[in-house]
Amino acid sequence: MKDQVHAAARRARIAAATLALTTRADKDAALHAMADALVAGTPAILEANAVDVETARSAGTGENVIDRLRLDADRVGAFAQGLRDIAGLPDPVGEVVRGSTLPNGLRMQQIRVPMGVIGMIYEGRPNVTADAAAICLKAGSAVLLRGSSSAARSNAAIIDIMRDAVAGTGLPADVIQQIPADDRSSATHLMQARGLVDLVIPRGGAGLIRAVVEESTVPVIETGVGNCHVYVDADADLDMALDIVLNAKTHRTSVCNAAESLLVHQAVADSFVPRVVEALQGAGVTVHGDAAFCGVDADVVPATDDDYAAEYLSLDISARVVESIDEAIAHIRRFSSGHTEAIVTSSLAASTRFTSGVDSAAVMVNASTRFTDGGELGFGAEIGISTQKLHARGPMGLTEMTTTTYVVTGDGHIR
């Protein structure tokens, strides 16, 4: 397996060298060809996906995981449109980040260049296959896609279609390759292919991310789990707060930007807590709350620290009443995964205090946590949400998939 993975990486390096010199027009043409081919190939993709879904269901896989795995024509169409959207975005390669003429006459420019070869290790979300391939291609890098065995048939169908489309435009098909998922060691060989692979990005649950971070010898951008909070401030519009909490929790439960925790300022607790408990329970959500929440309904489950730290990815939410915005911030700093936090307030002072006090990749003011998404923020499709602080943080789009080179031009300068 090691030889197989390393051979794929070597092919990717050759393809990446060609892609690095490819014009934006040619890259965009490839992306449009990939999108058209995915739409045309929808029946084959759905046939493969149906087998993956049935296999997962037979194995007792939870519905939240199956929801991430399942495709339909609309979902295939959506990620095909994502490819077209990426084609419409500016090409980051060649962008001058900064430049100046030095006192000695040297002309310095810092220029965005492709990363090279990027390895993606991810769990059962076939849309990631298309998104990652498209973002890496537009950013000038080859990608090695190591999905989960649960989505192996879906991923293979998508990758085969995209490779054929890329080759049809004259670019090397090896800018997109699948790493086998039927052998667990393939992920290890990918993340330890230092010198062949320039960057590894894990996308999935906490266990996967932790394993890649701890075992990889290739540099890693860590995409994080999402224990996202909504804080309802003393100066909140409570109707707005109710809408935001329901959207953040119930719009789609299986994604990392869904809200998992609710904090309510004590000044509005008497009026808001009964309303939000009733609304959440009406939407099928189990509330795990402190004494204030348990006191309004017998079906509220007493919350523990494990609840406050949980990324449920289900119709569950932890909740508590706090005495102040500072207590809310302290709670978030203790339990948050650093993904997304939201405050609902009409106070500028409170919103400023909150956005400065929490330490997360994204902070929403009077908006749902569900907006932490590359597409929603105008980046096109994203490759993941980074919760670390080096190189990339938050939704990772095209720019985050590049690095930079310093080009220094002189006229016979010597030192």
Mean per-residue pLDDT, 183-200? 95
Q: Is the pLDDT of residue 380 over 80?
A: no
What pLDDT is recorded for position 42? 98
Q: Where are the domains of the chain?
A: 2-223+396-409, 228-371
Partnered with residue 362 across adjacent β-strands are: 340
- Indicate if the pLDDT at residue 106 is higher than 80: yes
pLDDT band at residue 190 under the 50/70/90 scheme: very high
Q: What percent of the chain has pLDDT over 70?
A: 100
The proportion of the chain whose per-residue pLDDT surpasses 90, expressed as a percent, equals: 85
Please report the pLDDT score of residue 249 as a whole number.
Answer: 98
Give the Cα separation of 211 and 37 in Å (integer).
Answer: 35
pLDDT of residue 83: 94
- Architecture in CATH of 228-371: 3-Layer(aba) Sandwich (3.40)
Nearest to 260 by CA among 272, 245, 281: 245
Question: Tell me, what amino acid is at 390?
Answer: L
Domain 2-223+396-409 has CATH 3.40.605.10: yes
In tens, the pLDDT along 345-362 reads 999 999 999 999 999 999
Which residue pairs, CB below 8 angstroms and at least 24 apart, start in 169-174?
A: 169/26, 169/29, 169/30, 169/33, 170/26, 171/18, 171/19, 171/22, 171/26, 171/27, 171/30, 172/14, 172/15, 172/18, 172/19, 173/15, 174/8, 174/11, 174/12, 174/14, 174/15, 174/142
Confidence of residue 304 (pLDDT cuts 50, 70, 90): very high
pTM: 0.86
Summarised one tens digit per residue, pLDDT across range 198-236 is 999 998 888 888 899 999 999 999 887 899 999 999 999
Alpha-carbon distance 81 to 24, whole Å? Answer: 18
pLDDT of residue 65: 82
Report pLDDT digits (tens) over 123-149.
Answer: 888 999 999 999 999 999 999 999 999
HSE-CB of 46 using CA atoms within 13 angstroms: 12
Flag whether pLDDT at 387 surpasses 90.
no
Residue 15 has pLDDT above 90, yes or no: yes
Do the Cβ atoms of 316 and 289 come closer than 8 Å?
no
Q: Check residue 7 and give its pLDDT.
A: 97
Kindly report, residue by residue over 38-72, the tens digit of the pLDDT: 999 999 999 999 999 999 999 988 887 888 899 99
Q: How far apart are CA 106 and CA 94, in angstroms?
A: 20
Average the pLDDT over 375-385 and give the result. 81
What is the overall mean pLDDT for the chain? Answer: 95
Who wins on pLDDT, 255 or 30?
30
Instruction: Name the β-bridge partners of 194.
Output: 197
CA distances for 221 relative to 160, 264, 301, 392, angstroms: 27, 33, 36, 7
Amino acid at 238: L
Q: Output the pLDDT for position 206.
A: 80
